[in-house]
Amino acid sequence: MATHYYTVTWDQLHRDARALAWRLMGQGPFAGIVAISRGGLIPAAIVARELDVRLVESVCVVTYQDETRGDPVVTKPPVAAGDGTGFLVVDDLVDSGTTARVVRGLLPKAHFACVYAKPAGRPMVDSFVTEVSQDTWILFPWDTEPQFIEPLARRGGP
């Protein structure tokens, strides 16, 4: 289990993905984008829109089941991207770098970008927006739903 949790809202994710696109403006133009499924699908769509990239491919790598990490398994390779030449790989987060290493092996010539990066995985990416501590579990908007919470005074504290 993670020590800390960091909740990202839809608005914040959209702002951060646009900030990533802004950072990537000078790196392109890109022939296409490879979204790492599932977490990178939405950030990749935002980046593709902002960079006006029309070719969006995906790579599916299964690494986690809830908060438990397993061995990575590629369930769909990014065939349209070849060796990655001219392509941008987008993910929501680089954590340990395991998924990034697998994708880099498939697309060694691609530029790898993510919205959020943890220290252990940071060397695996070329561009990112926000660094979070290694012991933080990010709760993305697709993993949560808003709900009522009692005021602190009624709960007796945090």
Annotated catalytic residues are 91-92, 95
Question: Which residues, in sequence order, are bridge partners of residue 4?
Answer: 136
Q: How far is CA 44 from the centre of its chain?
A: 8
Which residue is listed with tokens 């697709």?
A: 142
Task: Say which residue the tokens 């369930």 belong to.
Answer: 75
Q: Is 92 helix (H, G, I), strand (E, B) or coil?
A: strand
- The span from the CA of 93 to the CA of 85, in Å, is 22
Q: Which residues contact 157 (CB under 8 A, 6 or more apart)?
A: none
